Amino acid sequence: MIVRKVKENDISSMVKIGELMHRIGSFKKVKYSKDKVFKTIRASMDSDMMVFFVAEDEDGYAGMMGGFVVEYPISYEKYASDFLMFIKEEKRGGDTAIKLLNLFEEWAKSKGVKEIRLGSSHGVDTEKVKKFYEWQKYETIGHLFRKEL
C-alpha cells in the first residue's frame, strides 16, 4: 500500500471515486459536478493550506483523503480539518484509512497546527467511523445536524 499526495494524473480517477462516494452518501441529493471536484483537487496541488492524498495498492486506487488548514474564527491560531476520507468498500477494514490519516496528521503538523478536527457527514457506517477515529485517539466533541429546505 502506497499513500501519497495526489498528482496531476490521479485527478480523473479521484473524480470517479468521488462520484462513487457521492452516490452512496448523505450528499446524493446535491448535484455532483465533476468539473468542480477536478478544480478543487487541482487547486490543492498549488495550495500550501489544502491537500489531497491517495492510497493505492496492486489493485489500483483504494481510497483518498482531503483536508485543509484554516484559522479559528475566534483566533489567529490554525487547525486542520478534512473534506473527506473515503475508502473503497472492498478495502475497508485494512490499514488504508490508518495510513491516509497518519499522512494527513504529518502534513498538518508540518503546517504548525496544534489540533485536527475531523468530521463525518457522509452518513455511511457512522458508528464504525466514530469507533475508528476514537481508536486513533480522536475525541468525540459534538454532532452534525442537517435539515433540508
Residue with the bigger pLDDT between 104 and 129: it is 104
Q: CB under 8 Å, gap of 24 or more: what pairs does 19-23 form?
A: 20/88, 21/84, 21/86, 21/122
Average pLDDT over residues 83-105: 94
Number of domains in the chain: 1
Sign of torsion, CA 142 100 114 44? negative
**Within a domain: 143:** no
Q: Would you state the cell numbers that stand for residue 111, as one nine-digit string? A: 503546517
Average pLDDT over residues 115-139: 89
Q: What percent of the chain has pLDDT over 90?
A: 76
**Within a domain: 146:** no
20 strand-pairing partners: none
Average pLDDT over residues 118-123: 81
Q: What pLDDT does 73 receive?
A: 97
Distance CA 123, CA 84 (A): 12
Q: What percent of the chain has pLDDT over 70?
A: 99
pLDDT over 80 (residue 121)? no
Q: Would you state the cell numbers that stand for residue 55, as one nine-digit string? A: 492510497
- Could you tell me the pTM of the whole model? 0.92
The DSSP code for 56 is: E
Residue 29's domain comprises: 2-135
If pLDDT is split at 50, 70 and 90, which confidence band does 22 have? Answer: confident
pLDDT digits (tens, 9 = 90+) for 2-11: 999 999 999 9
**Within a domain: 147:** no
Q: Which amino acid appears at position 133 of this protein?
A: Y
Which domain CATH number covers 33?
A: 3.40.630.30
Q: What pLDDT does 21 receive?
A: 85
Mean pLDDT of the chain: 93
